[in-house]
Structure 1
Amino acid sequence: MTVKQILDEKGRDVVTVRPSMGTEEAIRFLADNKIGAVVVTDGSGRIAGILSERDIVRAVAARGVQALASEISEIMTSKVTTCGEQHSINQVMELMTNGRFRHLPVEEGGKLVGIISIGDVVRRRIEDIEREAEDIKAYIAS
């Protein structure tokens, strides 16, 4: 299974925010949308960073409550790892494991076309394993 197949099933809608958004506002945004990370885009729609719950926790741990008054551009992860629709689940699992992150923006031709989470990847991998097990049972039974 590929990232394209995951996005075709789950959808390609991605909520984004601007780097100038305040951290406190971003926290409410994450909570209201029930998400753990949001892609930060610049004026032209290009990926400028990603803001995750982990970024917020680290900022508060380092700067205290003052971190909440800053713009997210000050605390977001600027160097964003992305994948393409052609990546396999195994490649994406490796990227997420090695990078120690749970959200991966999907980019094609320099444009953001979706986002996948570790939950999306694990769910599809479990489905694949269950399908393989059923195929093996059917083969043995025949």
Structure 2
Amino acid sequence: MTVKAILEKKGHDVFTIGPNVQLSEAVRILAEHRIGALVVTNGDRKIVGILSERDVVRIIGKEGGAALEKAVRDVMTPKVKICNENHTVNQVMEIMTVGRFRHLPVERDGYLYGIVSIGDVVKRRIEDVEREAEEIKAYIATA
């Protein structure tokens, strides 16, 4: 199973934010849409960073509420791990596990194309395992 199959099912919509937007606005968007990360782009869907809930918690823990006045660019993770639509579910799980993060932007031709979360990946993996179990049961029943 590939990232392409996940995106075909869930869609390519991604919540993005610009690097100069105030952190308080980013937090509002995260809360309003009940999401864990925003991909930071410079307007042309080129990925320049990612802002996760962890980034927000770290800066508020360090600087308190005044951190909400900072620009996203000062808080985001600038070195973003990405994947493409040809990555397999297992490859994506490994990237997320090694990097210890839950959101992985998908790039196509150098531009943001989608995003997969650990929830998307686990859901797909469970579906695959359940399908395989049903196939084995059907095989055994006909043998």
Q: Normalising by the residue count of structure 2, what TM-score does the alignment of the two structures yield?
A: 0.97
Structure 2 residue runs of 5 or longer lacking an equivalent are none
Tell me how far 1:13 sits from its aligned partner: 1.0
Alignment correspondent of 1:3? 3
For 1:85-124, list aligned pairs within 5 A.
Answer: 85-124=85-124
CA distance in 1, matches of 2:121, 2:44: 29
Alignment correspondent of 2:46? 46
For 1:67-78, list aligned pairs within 5 A.
Answer: 67-78=67-78
Structure 1 residue runs of 5 or longer lacking an equivalent are none
Q: Normalising by the residue count of structure 1, what TM-score does the alignment of the two structures yield?
A: 0.98
Alignment correspondent of 2:26? 26
Tell me how far 1:44 sits from its aligned partner: 3.0
Q: Deviations over 1:4-63 (max 9, x none)?
A: 000001101112110011111110011111111010001332101000000000001111
CA distance in 2, matches of 1:100, 1:86: 21
CA distance in 2, matches of 1:36, 1:10: 16
| Number of aligned positions between the proteins | 142
CA distance in 2, matches of 1:24, 1:54: 15
CA distance in 2, matches of 1:141, 1:40: 52
Alignment correspondent of 2:81? 81
Q: Amino acid of the residue matched to residue 124 of structure 2? A: R
Q: Deviations over 1:51-96 (max 9, x none)?
A: 0000000001111222111011100000000000000000000000
CA distance in 2, matches of 1:111, 1:72: 20
Question: Structure 1 runs of 4+ off > 6 angstroms?
Answer: none
Alignment correspondent of 1:17? 17
CA distance in 2, matches of 1:43, 1:111: 11
Tell me how far 1:130 sits from its aligned partner: 0.2
Percent identity between matched residues is 61
